Structure 1
């Protein structure tokens, strides 16, 4: 095993497929599990830091009444209330991390902080109807028949849900967030999102890793309709940035706490090396295939036929991210526009 599990209660709850309890995980530090409805990840671990003037949260949870109740009850179990929250530090803009930040700000007046690149994603988010159209075009471009693309867009629920909160404070790599009694350093770790950031507390040797490093699964590195650049290359460089960091314990946003960060970093990098090799083999065996066709050739956690439409779209997005990296390495080339096809060099 590349890691040492420290969140044993969390691990046991994960195995039992139940919600773990609110836990004191360090001096003045608590983990509050906030459910993600109808999602295999099940919950986000929101971390509450006790400060002299109130609470600081790292991440906020999904914007849903069930999630809101779990968060408010979790904070109440510490002897506080949402009104005590003074700041919400968000690791990245995804809905299960940023979602409830807006409600928290409305109730408590807390400020929301996030890396400037992810803040720009939120600020520039197009209307839901336009977002759905762009997603459908992107899916068709990578090989989905139009009817299936429409099914995926509907399954994604883009037309439902409130707009995410725009942050008040923009964070940058290397800066220090100074809280009463403690300080957190911002480590920019792009890949899972453009501005994904971990928060490092050197005094206590803690790393709040968001989705960048998880103990069991690898975060989705994907190319979506609005993605720029090479997110998988960014992600692999971000793994390297954390190597050798003086960390006693990792506080991830999902699953359970653990030690031996460097071993986990190496395992995640190794997974992507294996996936790149597998995909290159699939491209060689299926010249001029679309990403949609290639995704069906890869080995996933369950059979391709068992994937629902939304899961297939996520798998497609990850496949395209790996193809982009292979193309930038000069190992494959893309041809055509609608659909895009891929061949080995």
Structure 2
């Protein structure tokens, strides 16, 4: 049964939810992940479907996707194409695995190519972020990572897409049918280098991936080849989206229904405040990203750094490094590399 999407409901509950004419939200599970679910959006495409994002290549995710598509009178073989916003595993890997079986096409932002190349030649059992964390002064986190049974990304789940999406590309969905729509691809680097969102001006919709999320702030720099300044990229991308006509936000994690401009303004304000608290920590004598991250509060619940799990401590440290780089770009802190560790002072 297809239900109209309810922003006040449990957005993670399995099912199919109509969020606009010919557009359906399908939440898929993320086991052992604090995000709990990822939203995949199914768009009517003639006698088939185009899906925005794909989910994580897990048996439970596939089963729920099959069940949801059945509710639309379709099956996995009716998916013509995946439009993927970025290469994180909960968005990309299921598209790659299903393509082998059903032959649908997979499209991804061109800026993700360097990251895919690294994933293809990754060393088993070694974190992509080990050297990055060492440079941020997070030796304690690296020691914990080294002691744990490592999660190893399967290179076969990161095969190259059938097509690369460039900024400004016009993507036609439902050619020759009443459901025809034209999506504009907008490059929004920040969360990852090659992140793209898909704007539907006619429907006043924005398929925002992880660039604009309704309840949380996207992570920054968590990718195999991070840019020199992920936060700077992210803020520039937010301003770009803010300069476009307002739309309904269709994000990858969280409920629908919010307006894009409202949430972008909130995200910009959040990072302005975060830059202030980060600068204050440096002024108090904390000089590395790890030292600064440890004295800041995290998540919407103002959780202490020490109360975060290992993965989220890693995220927090990397994100703090991104804020420190913006402070350096603005001339508010100075940077010195000592023994391979980046130090910031005022």
Deviation track 1:101-153 (CA, whole Å, cap 9, x = no partner) reads 0122122211111111113321342533268265323222222336x414225
Structure 2: segments with no counterpart, 5+ residues: none
Separation of aligned partners in 2, 1:52 and 1:223: 37
Residue 159 (1) aligns with residue 135 (2): no
Number of positions where the alignment pairs a residue of Structure 1 with one of Structure 2: 334
Map of 1:194 onto structure 2: 193
Cα RMSD of the aligned pairs, angstroms, is 2.1
The change in CA–CA distance for 1:176 and 1:216 in structure 2 (over 3 A counts) is: same
Gaps of 5+ in 1: 1-6
CA distance in 1, matches of 2:219, 2:226: 13
- Cα deviation for residue 165 of structure 1 reads 3.0
Q: Map of 1:257-272 to 2, 5 A cutoff?
A: 257-272=256-271
Aligned mates of 1:259, 1:33 — CA distance in 2? 17
* Residues 112/133 of structure 1: CA separation in 2 closer, same or farther (3 Å cut): closer
8 Å Cα contact 1:20-1:33 kept in structure 2: yes
Aligned residues of 1:138 and 1:225 also touching (Cα < 8 A): no
Higher RCO by CA contacts (8 Å cutoff, separation 6 or greater): 1
CA distance in 1 between counterparts of 2:230 and 2:149 reads 22
Corresponding residue number in structure 2 for 1:242: 241
Of 66, 89, 93, the residue aligned with 2:87 is: 93
2:127–2:150: 8 Å Cα contact kept in structure 1? no
Look up the match of 1:295.
Answer: 293
> For residues 58 and 281 of structure 2, what CA distance do their matches in structure 1 show?
40
Q: Give me the whole-angstrom Cα distance separating, in 2, the residues matched to 1:221 and 1:134.
A: 15
Q: Distance in 2 between matches of 1:124 and 1:140?
A: 19
CA gap of 1:126–1:328, structure 2 versus 1, over 3 A, is farther
Maintained 8 Å contact 1:136/1:150: no
Q: Aligned-pair distance for 1:71?
A: 1.1
> Residue 89 of structure 1 aligns to a residue in which SS?
strand
Where in structure 2 are the equivalents of 1:1-345 lying within 5 Å?
9-14=6-11, 19-129=13-123, 132=126, 135-145=129-139, 148-152=141-145, 157-161=150-154, 162-179=156-173, 180=175, 181-222=180-221, 226-287=225-286, 289-301=287-299, 302-345=303-346
TM-score, normalised with respect to structure 2: 0.90
Cα-to-partner distance string for 1:23-69 (whole Å, 9 max, x where unaligned): 12222211111111111111111001111141100000011111111
d(CA) in 1 for partners of 2:128, 2:202:
45
Partner of 1:4: none
Partner of 1:3: none
**1:289-320 deviation line (CA, Å, top 9, x unaligned):** 22111110111121222112121111111001
Shift in alpha-carbon separation, 1:198–1:155, aligned structure 2, 3 A: farther
CA distance in structure 2 between the aligned counterparts of 1:81 and 1:8, rounded to whole angstroms: 21
Q: What SS does structure 2 have at the residue aligned with 1:258? A: coil
Q: 1:182-204: per-residue Cα shift (whole Å, max 9, x none)?
A: 21001111100111111011111
Distance in structure 2 (CA, Å) of the matches to 1:68 and 1:223:
25
Alpha-carbon distance in 2 for matches of 1:237, 1:298 = 24
Q: Partners of 2:152 and 2:143 in 1: how far apart?
A: 13
Once the two structures are TM-superposed, the CA of residue 224 in structure 1 deviates from its matched residue by 5.8
Distance apart, 1:322 and its partner CA: 0.6
Instruction: Please give the alpha-carbon distance, in whole angstroms, between the structure 2 residues aligned to 1:104 and 1:224.
Output: 23
Distance 2:325 2:34 in 1: 27
Q: Deviations over 1:196-238 (max 9, x none)?
A: 1110111111110111111111111236663222111111111
Q: Residue 41 of structure 2 contacts residue 53 of structure 2 at CA under 8 Å; is this kept in 1? A: yes
Decide whether the 8 Å contact of 2:336 with 2:342 is kept in 1. yes
Helix, strand or coil: the match of 1:185?
A: strand
Distance in 1 of aligned mates of 2:342 and 2:231:
19
**Shift of residue 155 of structure 1?**
5.2
